[in-house]
Amino acid sequence: SDPGRIDPTNRVLRQQYFEEIQKEAASDVPNTLLYETKFCYTCHIERPLRSKHCRVCGHCIDQMDHHCVFIANCVGKTNWKWFFLFLVFLVSGAAVYVIVILCYFVFISFNYLLFVYLLVLAAVLASSSSLLFYQAWLAAHDLLTNEHMNWPRYAHMMDERRRFFNPFDRGLFRNLLRRFCGESVAESGDGDAQPLV
C-alpha cells in the first residue's frame, strides 16, 4: 500500500502539509525547529518534518519509518498500522507453528526434517517478535525508526545540551491514538512534549 508518498504535483496535499505545520506551530510545543521544512533535491519539493527521501523507492515519504525489504516498500504515515498488523500476524502464526511442531514431537514422534523446520521457525519467531516489540515501543513514544536511529542528525530531536529529546511524545494513550487512528483523533486534549529517558 501507499506509505504516504509526497506527490510533488499535488498542490492540495502540499497545502494541507503547510497548514498542518502552521497549526502545530501555534501550539505550545517549545521547539520551533519542528515547523521547518526541508527541500528534497531529488524530488524538487519542500517536504514536511519527519519526511524523508527513500533512495530505494525514489520518493519522499511522509513520516518515513524505514524501507522494509520484506514487503518491498517503505513504511510511512499511511501504511505503518498495516505493517504493524503484518508483524502481529507473522509472530502469531510462527508461534502457533512452533507449538504444533512441539506437540507433534511430544505426542507422535520425533522427525529430523521437522526439527530443522522448527529451528528456522524459532529464528523467524525471535527476529519478528523483537521487531514487533521495537515497533510497539516506538509507537508508544511516537517515534519513527529513522528518528530513533539517526537522532543526532536532527536538531529537533535534541535538547539544549544536545541530548536525545522527543518533541512528539504526548503520552502513551495519545501517542498510540495518533499512530493507529491518525492526527485528528489524537489532537483532542492537552499534552506537553516530554523528554524520553
Catalytic residues: 68
DSSP state of 151: G
SS3 for 93? helix
Give residues with Cβ within 8 angstroms of 56, minimum separation 6: 67, 74
Burial 136-158 (b: 16+ CB within 10 A, else e): eebbebbbbbbbbeebeeeebbb
Residue 48: how many CA atoms within 13 Å on its side-chain side? Answer: 21
DSSP element (H, E) containing 38: strand 38-40
Helix, strand counts (H, E) of the chain? 6, 6
